Amino acid sequence: MKKLKKLIKFFIFIFMLGVFTIIGFYGYAKLTPKLEIKSANAFLMYDTNEELFFQGSGSQEWVSLNNISEYLIKATISTEDKSFYKHHGFDFLRIMKALYINISTKSRRQGASTISQQYAKNLFLDFDKTWERKWNEMWLTMRLETHYSKDEILEGYLNTINYGHGMYGIENASNYYFNKSAKDLTLAEACMLTGIPKSPSYYSPLVNLKLATSRQISILNNLLKNKVISKEEYDNAVKEKLTFYGKKENSQLATIMYYQDAVIRELKNIREIPNSYLETGGIKIYTNLNMDAQKALEDAIKNNLDDETELQASGIMMDPNTGKIIALVGGRDFNKSQYNRAYQAKRQVGSTMKPLLYYAALENGFTSSTTFTSEETTFTFSNNQTYSPQNAGGTYGDKPISLATAISYSDNIYAVKTHMFLGEDALVNIAKRLGITANLELIPSLPLGTSSISMIEMANSYAAFANEGYKVEGHLITRVEDLKGNVLYDRKIKHEAILNKSLTFILNNLLTSTYDSTFIDYNYPTALSIAAKINHKIALKSGSTDTDSWSIGYNKDVLCSIWVGYDDNRDLPLNEYKYVKSIFADSIEGFLKDKEDSWYDMPNNVVGVLANPITGMPATESDTKKKIMYYVKGTEPSFTDPVFDEILDTN
């Protein structure tokens, strides 16, 4: 009995201690400065001309509760937090119930966040589920509850919550989905919008109408069950046929939602930015977005892919000298899929891997004229394993061809021979030097692009060729300020020399062979089909696997990378490989329209030699094919080079 009394006293003590602790925290919260919630979580994005192209949250579309449909208010409270007007920020009974359900079902399906807690969470940049993050959320909830009335908290919540498609706040969402003000929403419309914030990528009616409607009906049932609406109101709402608008007032926003998404992702990884928007009262983000480049990229995808196809496409344009990403498209339609393929996906890169190999080859003594025989070949490597790569279309020259020709035709036999000659680690090492972090296996097929790499990393690696040898990192944000103009972050461009300028000059010129009719012989240059579209001198390499199609090209001023494929990794039919090259040509030429050629000056230790591009030998009067090819001084081809003995013997 004595033990029981002691136990009861102990629990009473713990309970009272908890009560006084909570009272103490609320008292301290009351003494802290009042939070400026109308400017909190405001983020304004500016393009390269410092023109505003996106504003999320903030006070631009802030509406009072009096100007929000009563249906929307009731649906939100009934769905998210029935006891909102009764608790002080935390619903402890709901928390205990959620814990019990989650423990008994061994899941985390049941949540217990109040509207106040969700509002505090919305004011954060960092959504990681850490203890520090949870504590900050609790503390901000207390500060909100002690400084603001329930109506003010609810108003702030409804003006900052994410309704999908870049729409933050109920007024923005109402105009976007239904082309009307929030005060004019019907019950059916209000319940449809109420269902979206739980998971905007799933419950947007523009993404999945069936799923969104199911959640709308669930919310209506909940309102009826709790006697918030009558049976007549319920029946009318269920019968109401909704018409969705799905447009933004600023038409430019429709072309840059993927760019905006990538900006937010990058923003979360910048350490210099405070953990919450509250501490800055909102931020201004100065990005590298170039509207002309973005429009060229978007138009090229739209004009080349049929609306009915399930094919996806993504692309980026970058200033290779700085790494500034001036345009980005993560998919064909942000309204249908928010998955940002340009930023998140890793896909097999195909023969776009070959320029990395050939730069390593140039470092190891290869020249534009170095030859290997293009013929069906079976390679034997460790443990007597064999590998028999095939050229596209089964086309072989059955004769020695130059490195220039191998690049023009994207000859797989030449690439694997080079890979095996240099050693399988040579390609891996140069890839790492160029900033590729993907796991690359030491296998014979590596130069044929069997590894999966992100678009950003491929662009970074090609940028080093485009800027004549410097490592840069692709980025979208240049500067971040608070709303008072105080600089929170200022991107510093670092230039680390990692490649030889002379060799990049040679490689860049070799990559113009991919659309050069001079190389027509037993085969055709891989990008000859778009030669008529290319009006500026660019270095270009395409690549394809069964499931992926790429084109990456550049000059001194701009780099463009395009990918086309299916999200489910199904094989591409032969007639669909053509799209990526047309999208590339239309993108880069659309941006370069009315701009002069921007090509590379020849380094002092490089010479140009008139050569036969197929054989790599010095050109003679009898040669019908002649082209100036480039070499480091002292490595120019001559008729006495032993490498040409096989060619001379066949003549």
Count of Cβ atoms closer than 10 Å to residue 610 Cβ: 12
Residue 266 belongs to a domain: no
Task: Answer whether residue 147 shows pLDDT above 50.
Answer: yes
The share of the chain scoring above pLDDT 70, in percent, equals: 82
Identify the CA nearest to 584 among candidates 301, 332, 346, 320.
301
- Residues 308, 213, single domain; the answer is no
Domain CATH number, residue 346: 3.40.710.10
Of 338 and 432, more confident: 432
Count of Cβ atoms closer than 10 Å to residue 202 Cβ: 14
In this prediction, residues 556-563 reach a mean pLDDT of 98
Residue 57 belongs to a domain: no
pLDDT band at 278 (very low <50, low <70, confident <90, very high): very low
Task: Answer whether residue 22 shows pLDDT above 80.
Answer: no
In this prediction, residues 327-345 reach a mean pLDDT of 89
Residue 37 belongs to a domain: no
Task: Answer whether residue 148 shows pLDDT above 90.
Answer: no
E-state strands within 359-422: 371-374, 379-381, 385-387, 399-402
Burial class of residue 1, CB neighbours in 10 A (0-12, 13-18, 19+): exposed
The per-residue pLDDT for 374 is 95
Residue 185, helix vs strand vs coil: coil
pLDDT band at 611 (very low <50, low <70, confident <90, very high): very high
Domain-ending residue, one of 191, 225, 249? 249
In this prediction, residues 380-409 reach a mean pLDDT of 91
- Residues 468, 552, single domain; the answer is yes
Residue 269 belongs to a domain: no
The per-residue pLDDT for 132 is 57
Spatial neighbors of 431 by CB under 8 A, at least 6 apart, are: 356, 440, 461
- Residues 537, 412, single domain; the answer is yes
- Residues 26, 110, single domain; the answer is no
Residue 613, helix vs strand vs coil: coil
**Dist. CA 564–CA 582, nearest whole Å:** 11
**Dist. CA 314–CA 346, nearest whole Å:** 12
Spatial neighbors of 134 by CB under 8 A, at least 6 apart, are: none
* 237-246, 379-388, 458-467, 480-489: segment of lowest average pLDDT: 379-388
User: Could you tell me the sign of the dihedral formed by the alpha carbons of 41, 47, 49, 52, in that order?
Assistant: negative
User: Which 3-state string (H, E, C) describes 348-364?
Assistant: ECHHHHHHHHHHHHHHC
User: Which 3-state string (H, E, C) describes 227-289?
Assistant: CCCCHHHHHHHHHCCCCCCCCCCCHHHHHCHHHHHHHHHHHCCCCCCCCEHHHCCCEEEEECC
The per-residue pLDDT for 283 is 86
- Residues 540, 601, single domain; the answer is yes
pLDDT band at 8 (very low <50, low <70, confident <90, very high): low
Count structural domains, the chain: 3
Top mean-pLDDT range of 278-282, 306-310, 482-486, 582-586:
582-586
- Residues 87, 176, single domain; the answer is yes
- 31-54 residue pLDDT tens: 566 666 655 556 789 999 999 887
Task: Answer whether residue 271 shows pLDDT above 90.
Answer: no
- Residues 475, 606, single domain; the answer is yes
Buried b (16+ CB within 10 A) or exposed e, 415-445: bbbbbeebebebbbebbebbbbeeebeeebb
Of the residues 78, 351, 542, 544, which is catalytic?
A: 351
In this prediction, residues 406-435 reach a mean pLDDT of 96
**Dist. CA 463–CA 412, nearest whole Å:** 24
Residue 390, helix vs strand vs coil: coil
The per-residue pLDDT for 61 is 64
Domain-ending residue, one of 249, 276, 309? 249
Residue 242 belongs to a domain: yes
Place of tokens 């009560």: 19
- Residues 111, 15, single domain; the answer is no
288: Cα separation from own chain's centroid: 14
Please provide the average confidence, as pLDDT, over all residues in the chain: 86
The per-residue pLDDT for 167 is 82
Count of Cβ atoms closer than 10 Å to residue 616 Cβ: 26
Of the residues 61, 80, 468, 481, which is catalytic?
A: 80
- Residues 221, 302, single domain; the answer is no
Of 341 and 133, more confident: 341
- Residues 16, 80, single domain; the answer is no
Domain CATH number, residue 218: 1.10.3810.10
pLDDT band at 86 (very low <50, low <70, confident <90, very high): confident
Task: Answer whether residue 101 shows pLDDT above 50.
Answer: yes
Domain-ending residue, one of 249, 268, 288? 249
Query: Residue 351 catalytic?
Result: yes
Residue 335 belongs to a domain: yes
Spatial neighbors of 437 by CB under 8 A, at least 6 apart, are: 457
**Dist. CA 230–CA 224, nearest whole Å:** 6
- Residues 112, 172, single domain; the answer is yes
**First vs last C-alpha separation in the chain:** 111
- Residues 306, 188, single domain; the answer is no
**Dist. CA 318–CA 557, nearest whole Å:** 9
Residue 45 belongs to a domain: no
DSSP letters for 422-482: H-HHHHHHHHHHTT--S-----TTGGGT-SEEEHHHHHHHHHHHHTTSEE---BSEEEEEE
Of 11 and 118, more confident: 118
Q: Residue length, the chain?
A: 651
Count of Cβ atoms closer than 10 Å to residue 189 Cβ: 24
User: Which range of residues forms the domain containing residue 157?
Assistant: 62-249
Residue 40 belongs to a domain: no
